[in-house]
Amino acid sequence: MTEETPGFDEKPDVPSGATSEDAESAAASQEGAAPAGDASAQIAGLTAQLDQVRKALEERTADLQRLQAEFQNYRRRVERDRITVKEIAIANLLTELLPVLDDIGRAREHGELVGGFKSVGESLETVAAKMGLQQFGKEGEPFDPTIHEALMHSYAPDVTETTCVAILQPGYRIGERTIRPARVAVAEPQPGAQTVKADEATEAADDKESGGPDEG
């Protein structure tokens, strides 16, 4: 029996007549054929991973844009609420001061706004105006139920619509917000006055077309 010599590996079969260089070249070509398939698989795997990363990036970008939009809406809402609260606070403060302003106005009408009282009253009116308080209500303006409160009612032959003929208490507003309507006395056209005026206008038109009234 032939014993194998330890320490020596078996070499691949080499065709007869082939040199050792040819054998090494064949072995190298066999070893290089396998990694080509592995490279394609690695490229495919990397492409799939890249697609996953792009998809995740798009999702995170959409989340970030949504959060930014929500934050902008939150800031606008907070700013709007802050302005509203400020306007309400100012309106409440000035509403408490309206009786004092009414007293100052009555004192001015009666010639009693003099001396130190005049200086204090005018300073208070100036401060109220700086805070946005505006007075409204004038005699002769048309009655508007949204800003006027009629306390007295009468008829007058010289008005053609419901008119404020006296301002019993001025109204006040802050911007577009009315904090107190003007309390007024109103007058409506005299019943039948418009009919008489219409008849007179018709007669005048007829006289103009006919060349004037007939002379006796």
How does pLDDT run across 2-42, given as a tens digit for each residue? 455 454 444 555 455 545 555 555 555 555 544 556 888 88
What was the pLDDT predicted at 42? 86
How does pLDDT run across 180-214, given as a tens digit for each residue? 999 999 999 988 655 555 555 566 666 566 555 55
Within 10 A of 95 (CB to CB), how many other CB atoms are there? Answer: 14
CA gap 91, 175 in Å, rounded: 10
What is the pTM for the complete model shown?
0.57
- More confident site: 167 or 36: 167
Sheet containing 163-169: order of strands: 148-156, 182-189, 163-169
**Residue 43 φ/ψ, nearest 5 degrees:** -65, -45
Q: What residue spans define the domains of the chain?
A: 42-131, 134-209
- More confident site: 205 or 101: 101
The yes/no answer on whether domain 134-209 falls in CATH 3.40.1190.20 is no
